[in-house]
Amino acid sequence: MEYKDTLLLPKTEFEMRGNLSKKEPLIQAKWDEENLYEAMQTTGEA
């Protein structure tokens, strides 16, 4: 029996490792595409 089979690790939709230096540019680009900052600014003006 493998040691990893004895651990109760969660099943998630996202990766367990960080890789922030690789993922951050992709996240920033998605936010730019969605105009997230501008949307947050306009909802705060109410």
Query: Letter for the amino acid at 17?
Result: R
pLDDT tens for residues 13-44? 887 788 888 889 999 999 999 998 888 888 87
Report the predicted TM-score, pTM, of the whole model to 2 decimal places. Answer: 0.51
Burial of 28 (0-12, 13-18, 19+ CB in 10 A): exposed
pLDDT confidence of residue 33: 93
pLDDT confidence of residue 45: 65
Residues 31 and 37 sit within 8 Å (Cβ to Cβ): yes
